[in-house]
Each structure stands twice: as structure tokens, then as C-alpha cells.
DNA sequence: CCGTATCCATTCCGATACTG
DNA sequence: CAGTATCGGAATGGATACGG
């Protein structure tokens, strides 16, 4: 079962919010993406979320293809929730929210780096075919 | 009155979601940002949202500093809701959600362009001090 | 350890009716 | 037009107990 629908809305932002717009959804994904959490109890302790709610969110993520649920095999091992590529690419959403909160609410404790060399990373608006930076105020939406 | 809090969470994404994480919030802002809507009835007709809910969202946005409410003056004119700079800069969040939905759910009807010359625009991950593009899978979060 | 089940309280949402 | 008032229903939350 997915989240609530935005039936009149045909834009892709609405489609995305139908999958990750519920309370806790993006924070669970944040823990999966940036803290490498994979276990039920890790998420629960991190967020203080009720277990029934967490179970539903994880189930919804699996149904939506954002996560894969690995059951423990006969030989033992652990059950865990792993992000798919589809889920992983929501990183950019978390990053823009974080950057906005850092600037407009309060600087938070987290900074994003390149894993290989630890250099700081930014999300930048640019013209698609070149390197020209664009200011957010200049962006407009057009029908395709 | 703001949205629900994530009290245990100190990260900036949680702070941002406290302001725009409720149902309809980001879609109202999308209409304000990309359709230049400013009136109550514009939002209501666009979204099909119940008027009491819309009233609360707009009130919350004003309280959070995302919008400014211009009342009609004695000489007439119209009441309207205008984005502040703080609200306007959430454009990047809508854009990342849209890009993700376009890629992973279904291509939507909207494309982002530069207002001046109508060239396509992208959000790109880059090293902060140079032009080197970064893949989303390589991004890690560190404590500041 | 990883959930599921249940109960109950609170909050949120949607529909509708109504007012200046 | 721009909201407010009201109401019922749905979703969410917390606590706790229980089972594989």
C-alpha cells in the first residue's frame, strides 16, 4: 500500500511525493543513505518512531521499489533493508532539503563530501549544455 | 502553528520537513514558484484541496517566513500570498523531486528552463571548489 | 533480533455549509 | 473571493504485549 495520492496532479513532483511524502519517509531514507542503516531496530532507535509505523513505511518502500528486503537465509545471516538504485537517487532530495535547512533554519551537524577524497560537494544549478551557473530566481517551468 | 516536529532529529533535513513536510505543502509552493499563483482560489482550484486545509497551510507558511500575506489596502486591490526569498529557494527541492519522478516514476509535463534564454537547466552534483562532476553514489555525509 | 498485533489518543484530512 | 465553522473519518503515534 502506497501513500496518499494526488490524483489531480500530473507533475512528477506529485508522483514522487506519493512515494516519499508521508511523515518519517524521507528521514528513514536519510538514515539508509547516509548512515548506512539497514535494520529495523537501527531505524527505530534513530528516529524514535513507533514500530507499527516503521513497519508500514518499510513495507511501502519495498512495494515502491525503493528498498529491497533481504530475508535471512537458512544458513543464518541477518534480515535487512537495502536501498535500490531508485531509492539511492533520492539522495539529491535529502541534500537540497539539508542545504535549505542549513541556510534558512539553522546550520546542522552534517556536511556532504566526496567519498573518495573527502572534498566538499555542492548541488549547483547550471545550464544543461555548458557550465554556466544559474540563479534559482531565474528558473522557470515550461510544458515539455 | 507549524507542522509536527521531529524532536530527536538535529539534522537540517528534519528542520526543513517540519516546515514543508505536511501533505500539500510542497505542491502549494510549486504552484507559487512555477505558476506564479498568489491567490487562495488559484491554489484551491489547482490542487483540489479543502479550503480549511489550504488556509492552514498558507497561514503556516506566513508564520514560517516562507510567504508574505498582502492584505488589500483601503484603495482596493487584492489580497495575495507572495513567496519570500526563503520560500523561493525551496525551488531546488521541487526540482530534485521532479527530476527524480521524471526518471523513476514517469516523465512529467514540465521542464525547467532559464528564464532569460529558455535554455534547459539541470541540478548537478559537483566538487565545491572545482567543476568536477560527482556521482550520487559517491556522496557521503560527515559530521561538520 | 525482528517484527506483528492491539488498544487508544491525537492529529490530520476532506466535504460541506456558511459568512463578510 | 477569501476564507471560517463543523463534523466524521482516516492516518498517525505511543505504549505495550506477544511470537518466530
Per-residue pLDDT of chain B (144 residues; tens, 9 = 90+): 577 899 889 999 999 999 999 999 999 999 999 999 999 999 999 999 999 999 999 999 999 999 999 987 655 567 799 999 999 999 999 999 999 999 999 999 999 999 999 999 999 999 988 789 999 999 999 998
d(CA B109, CA A17): 16
Q: Which residues pair with A94 in a beta bridge?
A: none
Q: Under an 8 A CB cutoff, do B123 and A123 touch?
A: yes
Cα dist from B46 to A107, A115, B4, B92, whole Å: 34, 42, 25, 21
Helices (H), B1-144: 12-20, 25-34, 40-47, 51-64, 85-88, 91-104
Report CA(A46)–C1'(C1) in Å, whole number. Answer: 16
Q: Under an 8 A CB cutoff, do A142 and B110 touch?
A: yes
* B interface test, pick of A3, A4, A8, A11 with most B CB neighbours within 10 Å: A11
Between strands B67-70 and B80-83, the pairing is: antiparallel
d(CA B93, CA A21): 13
Q: How close B74 comes to chain A (CA, Å)?
A: 31
Q: Which of B28, B37, B123 is nearest to A136 (CA)?
A: B123
- The rounded percent of chain A whose pLDDT value lies above 70 is 94
In the prediction, which pLDDT does B4 show?
Answer: 84
Return the percent helix, strand and coil in chain A, to nearest 5.
45, 20, 35
Q: How close B108 comes to chain A (CA, Å)?
A: 5
Decide if A30 contacts A90 (C-beta within 8 A).
Answer: no
Cell numbers linked to A46 = 534513530
Report CA(A16)–C1'(C12) in Å, whole number. Answer: 21
Low-confidence ranges of chain A (pLDDT < 70): 1, 72-78
Decide if A37 contacts A43 (C-beta within 8 A).
Answer: yes
Q: Which of B92, B88, B36 is nearest to A142 (CA)?
A: B36
Q: Residue B107: list chain A partners with CB under 8 A.
A: 12, 144
d(CA A33, CA B54): 33
In the prediction, which pLDDT does A79 show?
Answer: 72
Interface check B79 vs A, CB under 8 A: no
Cell numbers linked to A112 = 556532504
Contacts of B112 (CB under 8 A, 6+ apart): A139, A140, A141, A142, B95, B98, B120, B121
Length reported for chain B: 144
In the prediction, which pLDDT does A11 show?
Answer: 95
CATH hierarchy code of domain B12-138 = 1.10.10.10
Q: Which nucleotide is nearest to B42 (CA to C1')?
A: D1
Nucleotide D13, nearest residue via CA and C1': A50
Q: Residue A144: list chain B partners with CB under 8 A.
A: 107-111
CB contact residues (below 8 A), chain B span 26-45, against chain A: 26-27, 30, 34-35
Q: How many alpha carbons lie under 13 Å from residue B13 in its C-beta half-sphere?
A: 24
Our measurement of the distance from residue B95's CA atom to the centroid of its chain's CA atoms, rounded to an integer in Å, reads 9
What single DSSP character describes residue B120? B
Q: Under an 8 A CB cutoff, do A136 and B30 touch?
A: no
Model confidence, pTM: 0.95
Q: Which nucleotides of C are covered by protein (CB under 7 A)?
A: 1-7, 11-17
Amino acid at each position: 500500500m502506497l501513500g496518499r495520492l494526488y490524483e489531480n496532479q500530473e507533475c512528477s513532483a506529485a508522483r514522487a511525493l506519493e512515494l516519499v511524502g508521508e511523515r518519517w519517509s524521507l528521514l528513514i531514507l536519510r538514515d539508509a543513505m547516509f548512515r548506512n542503516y539497514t535494520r529495523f531496530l537501527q531505524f527505530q532507535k534513530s528516529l524514535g518512531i513507533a514500530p507499527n509505523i516503521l513497519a508500514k513505511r518499510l513495507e511501502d518502500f519495498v512495494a515502491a521499489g525503493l528498498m529491497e528486503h533481504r530475508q535471512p537465509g537458512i544458513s543464518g545471516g541477518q534480515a535487512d533493508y537495502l536501498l535500490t538504485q531508485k531509492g539511492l537517487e533520492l539522495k539529491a532530495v535529502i541534500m537540497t532539503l539539508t542545504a535549505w535547512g542549513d541556510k534558512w533554519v539553522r546550520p546542522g551537524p552534517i556536511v556532504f563530501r566526496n567519498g573518495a577524497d573527502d572534498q566538499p560537494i555542492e548541488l549547483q544549478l547550471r545550464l544543461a549544455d555548458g557550465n554556466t551557473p544559474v540563479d534559482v530566481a531565474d528558473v522557470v517551468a515550461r510544458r515539455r
